[in-house]
Structure 1
Amino acid sequence: PFTAQCPRRRWRAAHYDEVVMDDVQRAYDRRSAEYAELLGSMDAVHPADRALVDYWSSFITGRVLDVGCGPGHWTGYLHQRGLAIGGLDLSPRFVDHARAAFPHLKFDVGSLDAIPAASGALDGVLAWYSLVHLTPGRVPEALSEFARVLRPGGRLLLGFFEGPEVAAFEHAVVTAYSWPVAALSQHLRTAGFEVEETHSRTGPGYRPHGAITALRHS
């Protein structure tokens, strides 16, 4: 019967997600040095992205976590702007690089759907292209975890690949997904956020990019 199969189907889906994230971790570990050299500095950041993150961060006074921090360049940059910030990443080699580059900051290895922070402990979460490798069914869980660790009124900023539908594509490191702004916004509302602003940019030679700022409901 269908009801008897549901637990097994859920187990298979969860197991598949675990395998996918293991693949993501290994892929970034293998290419961490290359990634850090090419993209792991603020010099590689698009000016529009920097302006958006600057504006978002100007409203934050408490603790912030850079989730999916990679080699730590955004973490270091926001610390220079006066934020109390740390970083979290799935890749141990990325975390090693971030610790070496920014020894005065705290970086941890961990998953974005099991953030090592108490409920309501954070004033801000930066998730800059941190969801792009999650299978679509796992994204709501990650957004709920962001909502858990943010205080009421806390701020979230998502960066992601934008597209007309949720679709997988061959990313330079490992399979990634594009999202319509409307679909991701709806998941945010379901997770307990108020969508504040949405942004899009595109240009020749790269995929469209999207960003959403959101507030944790009181």
Structure 2
Amino acid sequence: MGEQPHHDAVRRSYDTVAEEYANRLCDELAGKPLDRALLSSLLEQTEPGATVADLGCGPGHVAAWLAAHGTKTVGVDLSDTMVEVGRHRYPTVEFRQGDLLELPAEDGEFGSAVAFYAIIHLEPGELHRAFKEVRRVLRPSGLLLLSFHIGDEIRHFDTWWGHRVNVDFRFLDPARIADLLETAGFVVEMRTERTHYAHEVATRRGYVLARRT
């Protein structure tokens, strides 16, 4: 599959900010107790010995947190530079470059998967296809944990931390995400929301936990 034009813009934008992104956000989970609790719950429910995928992993700090808690972890990101930064910073994590619409993984390779703020860069019509692709790479009964910004707006960035970029951040409706997951072959087990922490951008955050049928 050829890369979509907007995916190329997202990739180049994240290539541009990769080092600064890693420096600014490498310790962000320390200030996110709900995220840590949800990740811990995911690990507890993952088949022992199974690999966990971090999809849209960026520089790999979430994947590294998972690896530090005793699981084999594979980080996948669209940005080549993010993958390079991750490999340098977190040698215990395996990193692969790839698109959510065509994941570089075998059928049923992963016991569970995390995708924090990754689907916000997809076009609305791509979400179902992405969820079907995630289902493909999960084992039967494997879990998927998603997070995203809640709403119906699109925030476009021309600059990010002083760097020139071209990237859209799409806010999403939790009910629609749950419906799309169900039609893609998942059972939604949990939906929750929270307001932003003091150090975060002022948006409402959504989380969905779904199990592959």
Q: Does the 8 Å contact 1:125/1:155 carry over to 2?
A: yes
- The one-letter amino acid of 1:39's match is L
- Corresponding residue of 1:136: 124
The count of aligned residue pairs is 201
Q: Does the Cα contact within 8 Å between 1:42 and 1:74 map onto a contact in 2? A: no
* Corresponding residue number in structure 1 for 2:37: 51
Contact kept? 1:63, 1:85, Cα under 8 Å: yes
Please state how far the C-alpha of 1:42 moved relative to its aligned partner. 4.0
* 1:71 CA displacement: 0.6
Q: Partner amino acid for 1:127?
A: A
Deviation, 1:157, is 0.4
| Structure 2: stretches of 5+ with no match in the other structure | none
**1:105 CA drift (Å):** 2.2
SS of structure 2 residue aligned to 1:83: coil
- Residues in 2 aligned to 1:177 and 1:63: alpha-carbon distance in whole angstroms: 29
Q: Distance in 2 between matches of 1:33 and 1:181?
A: 31
Partner-residue secondary structure (3-state), 1:117:
coil
CA distance in 1 between partners of 2:150 and 2:70 (Å): 30
Following superposition of structure 1 onto structure 2, how do residues 1-218 of structure 1 map, counting pairs within 5 Å?
18-42=4-28, 45-60=31-46, 61=48, 62-163=50-151, 165=152, 167-170=153-156, 172=160, 174-203=167-196, 206-217=202-213
Distance between the aligned counterparts of 1:130 and 1:73, measured in 2?
Answer: 14
Unaligned runs of 5+ in 1: 1-13
Going from structure 1 to structure 2, the CA distance change for 1:143 and 1:45 (only over 3 Å counts) comes to farther
Contact (CA 8 Å) 1:153, 1:216: kept in 2 or not?
Answer: yes
Q: Give the Å deviation of 1:41.
A: 2.5
Distance 2:108 2:73 in 1: 15
Distance 1:211 1:140 in 2: 17
C-alpha change, 1:64 and 1:43, in structure 2 (3 Å) is: closer
Q: Give secondary structure in 1 for the equivalent of 2:204.
A: strand
How many Å separate the matches in 1 of 2:72 and 2:125? 32
Contact 1:38 1:44 in 2 (8 A): no
The alignment partner of 1:34 has SS state of: helix
Greater relative contact order (CA < 8 Å, ≥ 6 in sequence): 2
Q: Deviation digits for residues 46-65 of structure 1, max 9, x if unmatched?
A: 22211221122211121111
Q: Which moved more, 1:103-112 or 1:84-93?
A: 103-112
Percent of pairs with identical residues: 36
**CA separation in 2, counterparts of 1:95 and 1:84?**
17
Q: Cα offset for 1:44? A: 5.7
> What is the identity, as a one-letter code, of the residue corresponding to 1:32?
A
TM-score, with length taken from structure 2: 0.88
Secondary structure (helix, strand or coil) at the match of 2:129 reads helix
